[in-house]
Structure formats: structure tokens, C-alpha cells
Amino acid sequence: MRSWQTTIGTSPPAWMRYAVSVGSVVLAVIISLVLYPYIEPNPFALFITAVAISSWYGGLRPGLLAILLSLVTINYFFIAPLFTFSMAVSDVIRLTIFLIVALLISSLSEARRISETRYAVTLASLGDAVITTDTAARVVFMNAVAEALTGWTLIEARGKMINEIVQLVHMDTRQKVENPVDQVLRDGRVVELANHTILIARDGTERALDDSGAPIRNEAGKLLGVVLVFRDVTARVQAEVERERLLQEAQAAVRMREQFLSIAAHELRTPLTSLLGNAQLMQRRAARDGNMAERERRVINVIVNQARRLDNMIVALLDVSRLETGQLSIKCEHIDIGQLVQRIVDEIQPTLDQRLLELISPDTPLLIDGDALRLEQVFQNLIQNAIKYSDPLAPVVIRTSEQATTICIHIEDQGIGIDPNELPHLFQRFYRSDTSTVQQTAGLGIGLFVVQEIVKLHGGSVRVESTLGVGSTFSVCLPRLP
């Protein structure tokens, strides 16, 4: 109760309430004495008014005091014999009726006061700021939170225009924002505060606000005023701004990383291309002239193979960076995928010492719409993986199959196989199995990621079936030309 009294500030002090009670009875006595000849038959009328005023203004106790004073003074001044406290039985009945009516008025008044107090306490104890206005946008009530946020007390603000108490500007433009109270009065419906609204308090403090205004209507639907409910969301807005800043920083860092990767890859490829080109030249010359010792020929083969591997890795890194920035695109044309796979197998076979690459494919063309260079990268990758993750002597079989709408290429190895738990992660960027065999084999864990993305760009799919210790089959299915 105390907090309500200090917060709301509308309940008068006790002495004043009792003073009003005594004063109104004294006034009733004086007026009744002046008008005695007219009110003599019924001297209670003005005292009923005094009791009503006392109860309404001061509550139950001042009301009871007024009743008591009224009984005494009526009896003394207005009931014969005058200026004594003696009375007839009929007067006792009259005073009793007065007492009952007066008590009824007092208790009704008290009930109303309790209900109003409860309403005011509820508003005062809300965590949100609440301000009510009349239909002229003048402040009628504000709770403690509203007082704290605006810097105005209810006593100061009451009767002032809402725009003076609640000053709103846009967070970014600093332009004045229309007060929701004005909008509600104009449109007669609930209005949400615009986002990014700042409340400028009386002392200039700025706070981000959130919430709404709503019309107050009586039962007949007549607009009586507006209730404005708002809360301080400065902390939330600051957190959002901070999150946005961190996101931008992170995005900038990712962009820089991509840029670095891209530049580094280009710079690394320039000397590597020259190295590979010259090594291949020597390799071809040695094959043509046949005058190079077997040991030197092997050395050159190693240089060519390793330089090619390095080049493939750099290309894959570049592709990852392109995929992340959405820059990897394909140029499609009609191609015979059977022929393409045949060429790849023919290229890889000579680089293998004893292992056999077996291609099982019909002689008829297998036509698809695709990017030959990118698809070559896909099959190179899958075949190299099959070689990498299986015994040096175990054969790798490449099979093609035709379905109604697709052509599939299956790459089967008899290698280490893949744990079923790992299958869902296999095509993720940088994923590598943590088995020791894989860890001891060179690789970046980006090959399958790039393979899947390229196949997806072709409208196809890639899947894997594998048994640990037995082998794996990777199948690439692409839409066939009609």
C-alpha cells in the first residue's frame, strides 16, 4: 500500500482526510442552522451529503467519523428539545434510519475505493511503463516505470500533453516519430511502436523502446482515452547491434580468407604449371628417344605425378573457395560420358605400377549435357580415392549403367571401406575419416565435397555404398539426354 501511495501520489494524507470529514459536517451544521426553518422537519439531508463527501474523499474511517459527528450534532442542534441530547422514540427511529443509509453510503464508497486502489496498484506494479491519456492526449496516469523512463512524476505530468512527456525519435534518422497516442486517437485502433524508436527522457537520456498504444473504450464503445505501454529495450538493441557487428567482422574475415586462398592458389599454380610442363616434356622426350636410364625415367615420373597431385590439390582448394562464394559455375555441352571415362582411365592406367583399372561400359554413346572439364575432375577424384584407399594390387572397376532418365558411373574398389557412422559426413567439407590408414594417407578432405557440388550443378546425385574392410562403390548419376 505504501508503495502505491508514494508511486501514484493521489491519496491525500490522513490528516487532510479527517479534516475534510470534520469540515463537511461543520458545514452541514452551519448551513442547516441558517436554513433551519426550511429543513426542520428533515434535518438529515445535508448530513447525508457530508457523509458521502467524507467517505468518497477519505475512505471508511473518515466516513464513520462523519456519521458519528452527524448523529451527535443532529441530535443536539436539530432534534427537540434543542441543545440537549435527549430525544423521543420516534427520533431514535429517524436517527437509526439515517445511520443505516449513511453506513450504506460509506461502505459503497469504500468498496469503490478498494477496487480503484487495486486497479492502480496493478498498473503501478507492472514491469512495463504504462501511461494513460484522455481523448485530448493529456496525461491522466503513469506508473512508476513510466515515471522512471520519462523522468517525469505523475503529479508533474498530469494534464500535460503526451508529446511533452514522451518524446520519440527514430534511432537512425533522429527524426521525430509520431506518438502512438496520437495515432490511436486518429485511427481508433491498437498501434505498435515503430521499430528503432528512441525515447528522450526529461534529462536527455536516450533509451530504445518497444511496445504499443491501445484505445480505452467504455462499454458502449466510446473512446475515453489511450493507454500507452512501453518498455526499455536498450540492452536488447545494443546486443543486436553488437551481434550484427560481429557478424560483419566474421563475414569480412571469411572474405579475406577466400581472397587469400584464391591469390595464394593462383601464385602457387604459376611456377607449378611451368614445373609440370617441363617435367612432362622431359617425360615425353624420354619415351620418344628411349635413351634415358630406367632410374632417371622413374624420377621424372615421380616428379610429374607429384606435381600433378599438387596441382589437383591447389585446384580443389580454389574450388572450395569458389563454391563458398557461389562463383563455381559449369559450361554444359552434349558429351559422351562413356568416352570421357574411357579417356580418364587411359590417362591414369600408365601411372599405376601393377594395379589394373577395369572399365566395363557399352560401345554405344552415353550422352549427357555436362561440363567435360568439371566431370573429368569428378571421376579423377573418385578413381584416385579408390586407388588411394585400397591395396596397391587390388583392381578398381569402373562401370557404367543406363536407367530411364539417368546414366550412372560406378567406381568400385576393394579397399579399406567406410564405417557406416561416417557415411553421413563423407561429403562435408574438410571431413576425413580418423582411422589411422586414412590419417597416414595424404589428403585435404575436400575432394568429395567438390565432387558432390559439381554433380549437383549438373542436376545429378552421388551416393556411396561401403562395407568396412571389403570395399566401397561410389556412384555418380547424371540426367541423360532424351
Provide, rounded to whole angstroms, the least separation between the CB of residue 399 and ligand ADP. 15
Considering only residues 207, 374, 410, 432, which one is a binding residue for ligand ADP as defined by CB under 6 A?
A: 432
DSSP element (H, E) containing 199:
strand 197-200
Provide, rounded to whole angstroms, the least separation between the CB of residue 425 and ligand ADP. 9
| End-to-end Cα distance, the chain | 85
Considering only residues 22, 148, 315, 438, which one is a binding residue for ligand ADP as defined by CB under 6 A?
A: 438
Residue 481 DSSP class: P
> Cell numbers at residue 242, please?
553488437
Name the E strands within 316-415. 333-336, 357-360, 367-370, 396-402, 406-412
CA distance 250 to 258: 12
Of 17 and 432, which CB lies nearer to ligand ADP in the complex structure? 432
CA distance 89 to 95: 10
Of 50 and 448, which CB lies nearer to ligand ADP in the complex structure? 448
Task: Assess contact for 414 and 395: CB atoms under 8 A.
Answer: yes
CA distance 395 to 271: 35
Considering only residues 319, 371, 413, 453, which one is a binding residue for ligand ADP as defined by CB under 6 A?
A: 413
Of 66 and 448, which CB lies nearer to ligand ADP in the complex structure? 448
Of 207 and 432, which CB lies nearer to ligand ADP in the complex structure? 432
DSSP element (H, E) containing 142:
strand 139-142
Task: Assess contact for 216 and 223: CB atoms under 8 A.
Answer: yes
Residues 168-197 contacting ligand ADP, CB under 6 A: none
- Is 357 a binder of ligand ADP (CB under 6 A)? no
Binding mask 96-115 for ligand ADP (x = CB under 6 A): --------------------
Select the span of 17-25, 93-101, 173-181, 436-444 touching ligand ADP (CB under 6 A). Answer: 436-444
Task: Assess contact for 152 and 202: CB atoms under 8 A.
Answer: yes
- Is 151 a binder of ligand ADP (CB under 6 A)? no
Provide, rounded to whole angstroms, the least separation between the CB of residue 464 and ligand ADP. 8
Binding mask 40-79 for ligand ADP (x = CB under 6 A): ----------------------------------------
Closest of 11, 117, 15, 110 to residue 67, by C-alpha? 110
> Cell numbers at residue 53, please?
463527501
Provide, rounded to whole angstroms, the least separation between the CB of residue 372 and ligand ADP. 21
Provide, rounded to whole angstroms, the least separation between the CB of residue 389 and ligand ADP. 4
For 238-257, letters b (16+ CB in 10 Å) and e give: eeeeeeeeeeeeeeeeeeee
- How many residues touch ligand ADP under the rule CB under 6 A: the total is 20
Strand partners, 358: 397
3-class secondary-structure state, position 143: coil
Of 148 and 438, which CB lies nearer to ligand ADP in the complex structure? 438
Considering only residues 79, 447, 460, 478, which one is a binding residue for ligand ADP as defined by CB under 6 A?
A: 447
For the chain, what is the total number of helices (H) and then of strands (E)? 16, 14
Task: Assess contact for 350 and 356: CB atoms under 8 A.
Answer: no
Of 105 and 418, which CB lies nearer to ligand ADP in the complex structure? 418
Residue number of the CB closest to ligand ADP reads 443
For 310-330, letters b (16+ CB in 10 Å) and e give: ebebbebbbbbbbbeeeebee
Residues 384-403 contacting ligand ADP, CB under 6 A: 385-386, 389
- Is 379 a binder of ligand ADP (CB under 6 A)? no
- Is 448 a binder of ligand ADP (CB under 6 A)? yes
Select the span of 3-11, 38-46, 91-99, 432-440 touching ligand ADP (CB under 6 A). Answer: 432-440
Closest of 318, 450, 448, 319 to residue 389, by C-alpha? 448
Select the span of 95-103, 156-164, 331-339, 438-446 touching ligand ADP (CB under 6 A). Answer: 438-446
Residue 29 DSSP class: H
Considering only residues 72, 82, 239, 444, which one is a binding residue for ligand ADP as defined by CB under 6 A?
A: 444
- Is 445 a binder of ligand ADP (CB under 6 A)? yes
Of 135 and 437, which CB lies nearer to ligand ADP in the complex structure? 437
Closest of 121, 128, 125, 132 to residue 228, by C-alpha? 132
CA distance 279 to 292: 14
Select the span of 18-26, 272-280, 344-352, 409-417 touching ligand ADP (CB under 6 A). Answer: 409-417
Considering only residues 300, 472, 476, 477, which one is a binding residue for ligand ADP as defined by CB under 6 A?
A: 472
Of 165 and 448, which CB lies nearer to ligand ADP in the complex structure? 448
- Four-residue CA torsion sign, 374, 378, 384, 385: positive
Binding site for ligand ADP (CB under 6 A): 385-386, 389, 413, 415-416, 418, 426, 431-433, 438, 443-449, 472
